[in-house]
Amino acid sequence: EEEQEEEQEQEEEVEREDEEEAPAEQKYSREEEGDVPWRPEVLSKPPSFGAAAFPFYPCREGLSVFNGRLMQPQQCLGFAPWYLASQNYLRQHWRLRAVRRLKNVMLLLQWAPGAPAPVEGVPPREALRAAVHACELNGLGSHDHLSDNQARGLLECLHLPTAHAAGPSSLRSLQDLLERSPPVCPTQAGRYFCLLSLLEAEHLRALVHLRPSFPLSVALHAPAVLEGRPLDRSADFADGPPFHVFAAEQLGRFADSEASFSARELCAVDLCLSGSSPDQRCAWWEQVRRCRRRAQLRPVPSLPVAVLLVPPEQRQKARQDSAIAKVRATLRRRGLSARQFFGQRAGRGGVHLDAAELAA
């Protein structure tokens, strides 16, 4: 009994070590930490990216971190063009010369300047590819039979009703359904989502309640508190497609180095990062995670987010390698070889690997 308690304590200690959340040890800079003010009237007109007084930039043109090579920043990901960041959240030029601790993604601005624009869907083939990838059904052929659970999972990823008496029986029939459906996973041109600093969000919320004379057309989101609906909104704000909000919130979680995603959430992020390969995403995500208070020791292949970061043909082997590495690390902490561990456990009914497999 004492031996079991000791083993349990050791296992808990290993888990605590694996779960310890802290930024990687790097030489972080704290220069220029204060927020830079900007005139809220800029929200009354379409964005002027690159203008000196404009406070936002597309994430695909600046949301990355310093990688140790002066003036050679880490490559940005191909974020959707409507996904922005404020200079007060992360200055574009910081990535050129110094490592910064990153702020958590807490508040998101939804901004729709100008007249309402048409809604645009994802091409059915592209949407289906992302859903299949998110559900890890890459081995299925287009005419292979889908189980009820598989069909339901794919429909949920695509934000389609799942209450039909008979769902699609194959990927081919699902694609036919998508081609007959309204726009799939729609977003609206001219509608933007922007990562804000906490101070910016506080001032914008106050401005919303002041009801200024110029148009705002904004809503503030706090996804961790209110999922899918605004924390506050201006009187002239009009809602857009629900999928657009959902996708923006999941992109925020991805940028925040979160690791736990459902298939539905993975599908949305995948569609918004379709311009970047898994290798590019993985390099970006790991580099950004190093600058956040996160569990740094977790190998990427063991995480749910690996669906976005590791190609499907490599993921199974990577997960197996990750599991083996974790077993070896645990045994090292206990001062045991695989053979010794197997010898201690043999006959107790709790080991399902033979000595050769453990030692491999």
Q: What pLDDT, on a 0 to 100 scale, did the predictor assign at position 164? A: 60
Q: Which amino acid is at 175?
A: Q
Torsions phi, psi of 296, nearest 5?
Answer: -80, -20
296 and 154, same domain (yes or no): no
Nearest alpha carbon to residue 109 among 261, 216, 212? 216
128 and 158, same domain (yes or no): yes
Of all residues in the chain, what percent carry a pLDDT higher than 70?
Answer: 89
Give SS3 for 61.
Answer: helix
Residue 43 pLDDT > 70: yes
Under 8 Å CB-to-CB from 241, ≥6 apart: which residues? 119, 186, 187, 188
232 and 343, same domain (yes or no): no
Under 8 Å CB-to-CB from 112, ≥6 apart: which residues? 188, 190, 191, 192, 217, 218, 237, 238, 240
Q: How confident is the model at residue 5 (pLDDT cuts 50, 70, 90)?
A: low
Quote the pTM value: 0.84
Query: Does residue 3 belong to any structural domain of this protein?
Result: no
Residue with tokens 């909104």: 233
Query: Does residue 157 belong to any structural domain of this protein?
Result: yes
287 and 319, same domain (yes or no): no
The count of residues in the chain is 360
Written as six digits, the tokens of 358 are 């453990």
Per-residue pLDDT, averaged over 129-150, amounts to 91
Per-residue pLDDT, averaged over 100-108, amounts to 92
Q: How confident is the model at residue 33 (pLDDT cuts 50, 70, 90)?
A: confident
Helices (H), the chain: 2-19, 124-134, 148-157, 171-180, 198-210, 242-255, 263-272, 278-290, 306-309, 312-334, 338-345, 355-359
Interval 263-307: pLDDT, tens: 999 999 999 999 999 999 999 999 999 999 999 888 888 899 999
Query: Does residue 26 belong to any structural domain of this protein?
Result: no
HSE toward the beta carbon, residue 242, CA cutoff 13 A: 6
Interval 207-266: pLDDT, tens: 999 999 999 999 999 998 899 899 999 999 999 999 999 999 999 999 999 999 999 999
197 and 280, same domain (yes or no): yes
Q: Of 184, 213, 235, which marks where a domain is finished?
A: 184
Query: Does residue 307 belong to any structural domain of this protein?
Result: no
- What is the total count of domains within the chain? 3
Query: Does residue 53 belong to any structural domain of this protein?
Result: yes
131 and 85, same domain (yes or no): no
Q: Which amino acid is at 71?
A: M
How high is the mean pLDDT of the chain?
87
Written as six digits, the tokens of 27 are 């030489």
Query: Does residue 339 belong to any structural domain of this protein?
Result: yes
Per-residue pLDDT, averaged over 158-162, amounts to 91
Tell me how far apart the alpha carbons of residues 167 and 81 are, in angstroms, rounded to a whole number. Answer: 34
Please give the DSSP secondary-structure letter assigned to residue 99. B
196 and 251, same domain (yes or no): yes
Q: What pLDDT, on a 0 to 100 scale, did the predictor assign at position 347? A: 57
Q: Which domain holds residue 209?
A: 40-120+187-300
Q: What pLDDT, on a 0 to 100 scale, did the predictor assign at position 167? A: 74
Q: Please tell me the least confidently modeled range out of 36-45, 215-224, 308-317.
A: 308-317
Residue 187 pLDDT > 90: yes
Of all residues in the chain, what percent carry a pLDDT higher than 90?
Answer: 61
Q: What pLDDT, on a 0 to 100 scale, did the predictor assign at position 360? A: 47
Under 8 Å CB-to-CB from 116, ≥6 apart: which residues? 188, 190, 238
Q: Report the chain's terminal Cα–Cα distance, integer Å.
A: 31
Interval 6-22: pLDDT, tens: 555 554 454 444 568 89
Q: How confident is the model at residue 74 (pLDDT cuts 50, 70, 90)?
A: confident
Residue 311 pLDDT > 70: yes
Counts of helices then strands in the chain (DSSP H, E): 12, 10
270 and 349, same domain (yes or no): no
Written as six digits, the tokens of 320 are 């197996």
Residue with tokens 């659970």: 149
Residue 77 pLDDT > 80: yes
Residue 339 pLDDT > 80: no
